[in-house]
Amino acid sequence: MKFARLASLVAILMLAGAVSAQEAATKAMRFTWKCPQKGDALGSHETGHIALDIDVSMDGQILDQSQQTQEIENKKRSEILAAEATKVTKVKVSYDQIVHDIEGQGSLAEDAAAILGKSFVVDFSGEAPSVSNEAGEAASEAQKKLVLERESQDGAYTGWGPDFRKILPDRPIAIGETFTVTGADAAGFLPGRDADFDPSESKLSVEMTLVDTKKMLGTECGVFDVAIVMSGVTSQDDAMTVELKPKGQFLLGTSNMWVYKMTMEGPIKVSGTVQDGAISVLGKGTAKFAGQALYGKN
């Protein structure tokens, strides 16, 4: 009798487990975009680390071997000053950190010194965006270029990460469903990219799969596994190319389509020639990135 009861209990537990697994497999969620509104804070903090082992050769003979590291960090605070139902019309942005340092070679972010540690107001209500400082004075042309590279796309305000309105369907998405993103829509997935990155000069594709749900900053988020494959020219003068294949996760708010967190890590390869093709360069290593939203209310 005891064995019969035990067998029945095991059967019930197995059935419950099967039902739970089936529910997880069939669970679906809808993602709805929400335009940021006046008073919303939309800051972000990104960090990155790249480590490369580099071989320099000529005619097949190794001339030099070295290691190189790159440190990337971007932190900014944004406050929505005015917005319509579907469009941000004015935003104040403060650039707290802009770092892209290469060991032994200095900083690739020197040009950003014009905006580092400063705050700007970007007005999207006119025919073209305008940029001013906190005192209301027009920003310099150099500052305007740097700010709009970071805050504007096709003349409209762009937040942190990709514009998922162009990526996700207007229907419930099932756990396990996969999407492939290419071209300009995929550029927002690239962590640590330069502000003037041109996706038309690279082959870029992203595969994203909804795998789970999680709460971040009080918001229900969908957890997407993400795999990026990119290859493209890094310098036309030196004919160098880069290949990047990181994998990680993006957390996306179901009620607003805002990115709340991202982590990426994977192999990177840099190759090409310098000095009119006389010298070959090959670098292999790893790239690791992380990002956290700094959302709230002001």
Helices (H), 42-170: 141-151
Instruction: With respect to residue 136, please indicate whether it lies within any of the assigned structural domains.
Output: yes
Task: Tokens 């905006």: give the residue.
Answer: 115
Question: For residue 146, what are the contacts with CB-CB under 8 A and spacing of at least 6?
Answer: 111, 112, 114, 115, 195
Segments forming the whole domain that contains residue 226: 37-297
Instruction: With respect to residue 2, please indicate whether it lies within any of the assigned structural domains.
Output: no
Instruction: With respect to residue 15, please indicate whether it lies within any of the assigned structural domains.
Output: no
Instruction: With respect to residue 25, please indicate whether it lies within any of the assigned structural domains.
Output: no
Output the pLDDT for position 239. 73
Helices vs. strands in the chain: H and E counts, helices first? 2, 17
Q: pLDDT digits over 82-109, tens only?
A: 999 999 999 999 999 999 898 867 676 7
If we measure between CA atoms, which residue out of 219, 199, 230 comes closest to residue 259? 219
Given pLDDT bands bounded at 50, 70 and 90, which one contains residue 19? very low
Instruction: With respect to residue 223, please indicate whether it lies within any of the assigned structural domains.
Output: yes
If we measure between CA atoms, which residue out of 124, 168, 148 comes closest to residue 256? 168
Instruction: With respect to residue 151, please indicate whether it lies within any of the assigned structural domains.
Output: yes
Q: pLDDT digits over 138-192, tens only?
A: 999 999 999 999 999 888 998 888 889 999 999 999 999 999 999 888 888 876 5
Instruction: With respect to residue 13, please indicate whether it lies within any of the assigned structural domains.
Output: no
Number of domains in the chain: 1
Instruction: With respect to residue 19, please indicate whether it lies within any of the assigned structural domains.
Output: no
- Model pTM? 0.82
